[in-house]
Amino acid sequence: MRSKEDIEKEIRTIGRDILASDMFIRGFSQSHHFRSNVSDHELHVTKAALRLAGLFASADREALIRACLCHDMGLIGNRKVVYTTGRMCITQHPLDSATRAEDILGTISEKERDIIEHHMFPLVLKRPDSLEAVLICIADKYCALYEPFTVRSSSVKLHSRMRIPVHAMA
C-alpha cells in the first residue's frame, strides 16, 4: 500500500498540467456537494481511486489520475447556466468534462475518455468499459457521500500543499 505522501507526489507529477490549468484553479470557486468545491472533489476522488487501484496490479494509474482530476470539469461555470435540470447535469457533464480534459491536455486516450464519460454509472445506465472507470465510479460515489459531512478547511489545506510544488516545477 502506498503512503499518503507517495500518492500526493504521484498526483502532482502525473497531474501537473491539469493542476496548474486555469480551469482547475477556477474549480476551487465553484461549490460542489454542499461543503466542497469542484476541484477539491476531484482531488478527493483521485486519492480514493488510487487507494482502490492499489488492490489491482493491472490498474493504469496514469490514466486514472488524469481522468479523475478532470471528471467534473464540465460542471465549472455550467452547473446552473447550461444544465437546466438535474437529469441534464447528470448525463451531460461527463461529456463536457471529457471535452475540457482535451482542451487542457491536447488529447486524451480512449481509456481516459471512458473513465470520465462513465463516472456517473449507475445514475447513467451506460456501463463503464475499464477497471479504471469502475474505480472512479466507486470513488466518486464514496466522496459524494463523505464530503457533505467534512470540514471544508481541511480540503483547502490539501490543495495548498499540493499546488505549491506544481508551480515551483513550472
The alpha carbons of the chain give a radius of gyration, in whole angstroms, of 15
Q: Which fold has domain 4-169?
A: Hypothetical protein af1432 (1.10.3210)
State the amino acid at position 99 in one-letter form. T
State the angle between helix axes of 4-14 and 38-53 in degrees (0 to 180), rounded to the nearest 10: 120
pTM of the model: 0.85
Residue 90 DSSP SS3: helix
Domain boundaries, the chain: 4-169
DSSP string, 39-86: HHHHHHHHHHHHHHHTT-TT--HHHHHHHHHHTTGGGTTTTTTT--SH
Torsion 51-55-57-63 (CA) sign = negative
Cis, peptide link before residue 128, omega less than 30° from 0: no
Walk along the chain (170 residues) and give the pLDDT tens digit of each residue: 789 999 999 999 999 999 999 999 999 887 776 667 889 999 999 999 999 999 999 999 999 999 999 999 999 886 667 778 777 888 889 999 999 999 999 999 999 999 999 999 988 888 899 999 999 999 999 998 888 777 454 444 444 444 433 333 33
